[in-house]
């Protein structure tokens, strides 16, 4: 089946630890995105990548890092520098780099205790 | 700047029509979208409209666009309990990095 797969679905980490969220797509999409969702605040863009080996910061990139070594993969690392990491993280992809019509994965819940 | 506003909550009875509203500020917007999010899940693309259109209908969904007022609405006919979800409005244009999303409208459908 074609789609965007995020893993794990639920993740618990101790404060001060880095954690990496996986995002894989088999849609042959060029562009990939990471959004963060907090209750009542909608979606905020963390990082995006329009092409392999290239990525740009979004609106809330501080405390996060990404890589795009393969077209189908765009992992997100939540570092210990992120002050409030507990949130729902959504990965998305788009057929091209125009930034339109994006498709989402099922999301990953990260809880830092 | 880019800003998308939605009301937070809407409650309707099963069988009634639902109308979810959205306003945006970027006059460059050429694509406007509606996404649906069920609890604990990702966002599902419902429909979209180009800015040169006034209306788009897709089965029970009708999208109306008033470009002059920068107002977008989603009408769901014969609303069912399965339509209970959060609905996000989003806007974008070719060449911009990513879509801008509203905060979402929670639709509650009462039996």
DSSP H/E element including A25: strand A19-25
Query: In whole angstroms, how large is the CA radius of gyration of chain A?
Result: 13
Nearest chain B CA: its distance from A6 CA (Å):
10
Give the separation between CA A100 and CA A41, rounded to whole angstroms: 21
CA geometry: angle at A27 spanning A24 and A31, to 5°? 75
Give the separation between CA A32 and CA A63, rounded to whole angstroms: 19
pLDDT at A42: 85
Is A96 within 8 Å of chain B by CB?
A: no
At A36-92, the pLDDT tens digits run 999 777 899 999 999 999 999 999 999 999 999 999 999 999 998 888 999 999 999
Residue A19, strand partner residues:
A78
Residue of B nearest to A10 (CA): B40
- The residue that leads in pLDDT, B16 or A83, is B16
Residue of A nearest to B43 (CA): A104
pLDDT at B93: 77
Report yes or no: B36 and B87 within 8 Å, Cβ to Cβ: yes
At B35-84, the pLDDT tens digits run 999 988 899 999 999 888 999 999 999 999 999 999 999 999 999 999 99
Respond yes or no on whether the N-terminal peptide bond of residue A8 is cis (omega within 30° of 0). yes
DSSP class per residue in B17-52? -EEEEEEE--TT--EEEEEEE-TTS-EEEEEEEETT
Residue of A nearest to B31 (CA): A100
Q: Select from A40, A41, A102, A110 the residue whose CB has the most chain B CBs within 10 Å, as the one to mutate to test that interface.
A: A102
């Amino acid at each position: 089946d074609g789609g965007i797969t995020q893993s794990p679905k639920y993740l618990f980490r101790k404060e001060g630890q880095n954690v990496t969220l996986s995002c894989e797509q088999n849609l042959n999409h060029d562009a990939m995105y990471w959004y963060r969702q907090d209750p009542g605040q909608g979606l905020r863009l963390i990082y995006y990548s329009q092409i392999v080996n290239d990525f740009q910061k979004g609106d809330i990139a501080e405390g996060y890092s990404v890589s795009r070594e393969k077209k189908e993969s765009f992992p997100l690392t939540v570092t210990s520098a992120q002050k409030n990491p507990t949130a729902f993280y959504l990965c998305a992809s788009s057929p091209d780099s125009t930034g339109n019509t994006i498709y989402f994965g099922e999301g990953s819940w990260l809880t830092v205790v | 700047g880019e800003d998308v506003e939605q009301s937070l909550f809407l409650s309707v009875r099963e069988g009634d029509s639902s109308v979810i509203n959205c306003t945006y500020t970027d006059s460059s917007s050429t694509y406007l979208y509606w996404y649906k999010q069920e609890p604990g899940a990702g966002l599902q693309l419902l429909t979209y409209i180009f800015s040169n259109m006034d209306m788009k209908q897709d089965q029970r969904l009708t999208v109306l666009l008033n470009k002059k007022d920068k107002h977008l609405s989603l009408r769901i006919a014969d609303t069912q309990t399965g339509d209970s979800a959060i609905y996000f409005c989003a806007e974008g244009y070719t060449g911009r990095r990513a879509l801008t999303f509203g905060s979402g409208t929670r639709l509650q459908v009462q039996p």
